[in-house]
Amino acid sequence: MKNIITIVKKELFRFFTDKRMLISLILPGFLIFIVYSLIGPAISNMSNVDSEYEYHIKVFNANNAFDFFKIAQGQYIVKIDEYSDETNLEEAKKQLHDNENLDLIIEYSKNFDLNNKTSSISLYYNSTSKESSTIYAFYYAYIFNESKVIESLFQVNENLNIKYDVATDEDTSSQFVSILLPFLLLTFLFSSCLSVSTESIAGEKERGTIATLLITPVKRSEIAIGKIIALGITSIVSAITSFIGLSASLPKMATSINFDFSMYHFEHFIALFALILVIVFLFITLLSIVSAFSKSVKEASAYSVPVMILVEVLGMTSMFSLGEVQENLIMYLIPIYNATQCMKSILMLKFDLLPFVFTIISNLLFCGLGIFVLIKMFNSEKIMFNK
């Protein structure tokens, strides 16, 4: 028993005095706290509209059967414009489709009468906008329920030949892909980088071959850069196959929305490929630093877990704002997050060149900084030989 206690003390002393092990023990719990603290509000924001948001509604063939402004008072801030005819209806539908400061269209049939079975109310909305969907659900439920209470004969959105949701199949498809693809793509890219980078430096340390490499008449900076380029090329091959497989499977996953990749053009795929290139080299640079810091492949894999969690959280930001694209250019300076938002804008067919340029430059700068750090690590005898 005494020997067992001695061994336990020895192992515990080793665990809690080794900074590397201590970090690997504490860091996951700290990251989980941060992740869940961020995910909660983000998920809530997916469907909740700001209470200060002013909904803009256009009413055609206005009728005093329902006072729409008073219906929403106290729960929503509503601005209503009334029109006496239908001359601007199609223009309003286009405005609603393009999310141009319009959330709902209410159209009364001509000579509307609560007790006339030929009378109807049409509510047009955009399902890709959470604001439009929210106010539509509120008014539709109210009018439908009110018609039952007063036993009226009029109908609400009764014509099956009319599409009351102005969002097209293309809009729905692009929204579906923009929510799912950035997260999956970043996950596959990181996995492909992880599988080769941990072995490259930490593996050589573990086998003892790193010493032979470092004493060759080659600058250590050249060794570091050479490893990153080689790892990047290897990972890109894996990333491309993952992207092709994912792209081919998406139409099967989205059969209910008639998904069609033809809505994307050549420039969209070029932009996506450019993002894949820079994000792969950023992942390789980060993981190479982790690998150089580690004593073994096992240790490098353990240290890579927090990086993986961070990448997945940033990838999930594409799911947090339905139909919305990040507009603050400063946010496109944040690595990985900017690539997620850029991918989302491309997949939503809202590609903007300036945020894309910010994203490419930002990630390349962070790659450069990471390479500088890696070179410093290669020049450190303490780090490279685990002294």
**Are residue 330 and residue 209 in the same domain, yes or no?**
yes
Query: In CATH, what number is assigned to the domain containing residue 91?
Result: 3.40.190
pLDDT in tens, the chain (387 residues): 665 566 555 555 655 566 655 565 565 555 556 655 555 555 555 556 677 788 888 888 877 767 766 677 677 888 888 776 666 788 888 888 877 788 888 888 887 777 767 777 888 888 777 788 888 888 888 777 766 655 556 677 777 677 777 766 666 666 777 777 788 888 888 887 887 777 778 877 777 777 777 777 778 788 788 888 887 777 777 667 766 766 666 666 555 555 666 677 788 888 888 888 889 889 988 988 888 888 888 888 888 888 888 888 888 877 776 666 777 888 888 898 889 888 888 888 788 889 999 999 999 999 999 989 988 888 877 777 765
- Total of domains in the chain: 2
For residue 176, give the DSSP letter.
H
User: Has residue 45 been placed in a domain?
Assistant: no
- 10 Å Cβ neighbour count for 338? 26
Which amino acid belongs to residue 193?
C
| Domain membership of residue 139 as a residue range | 54-156
Q: Which of 114, 131, 156 is at the close of a domain? A: 156
Between CA 74 and CA 51 the distance in angstroms is 11
Which amino acid belongs to residue 196?
V
Question: Strand 120-124 to strand 104-108: parallel, antiparallel, or no bridges (unpaired)?
Answer: antiparallel
The pair of structure tokens assigned to 119 is 């009378």
Q: Which of 133, 156, 179 is at the close of a domain? A: 156
User: Has residue 15 been placed in a domain?
Assistant: no
**Are residue 79 and residue 101 in the same domain, yes or no?**
yes
Which amino acid belongs to residue 190?
F
Between CA 26 and CA 270 the distance in angstroms is 41
At residue 51, what are phi and psi to the nearest 5 degrees?
A: -65, -20
